Amino acid sequence: MKKLENKIEKCVKKFGHLKVNLTTSESTNGEGIWAVPCTKKDNELANNTDKSGEKFNVYACNQPVTWYGKNWGDVIVATNGGSNRPYARLADNEEATHDRLTEARVKKELWS
């Protein structure tokens, strides 16, 4: 757990926090959680309003209430909301493969 805490702390220092709406439907509204982009590329996608609709990865920085099974530190696939808050749909986060792919990219970018 300490390794994950250090990784997230490093991301927070580099990129800061952002709010992401967690949705269980096709809506873009839902429970807002604090999150932090996983990589520099994720940060660029998250903070560029011209990238509306683009997907990026974030670490959850608090415990979601409406998404059972997601916890602090879990990787969540979010979508840039343009001029609105980023959102994450449950359907985009049901595959565990995102965690493995993001983990490899984060290790390469943060620890090299």
> Is pTM, for the whole model, over 0.85?
no
Helices 2-15 and 97-111 sit at what angle, rounded to 10 degrees? 70
Average pLDDT over the chain, rounded to whole?
Answer: 86
Cα gap 51→99, rounded to integer Å: 22
Q: For the beta carbon of residue 84, count every other beta carbon within 10 angstroms.
A: 12
Per-residue burial over 17-33, b = 16 or more CB atoms within 10 Å of its CB, e = otherwise: ebebbbbeeeebebeeb
pLDDT mean over 9-30: 91
DSSP state of 47: T
pLDDT for residue 55 is more than 90:
yes
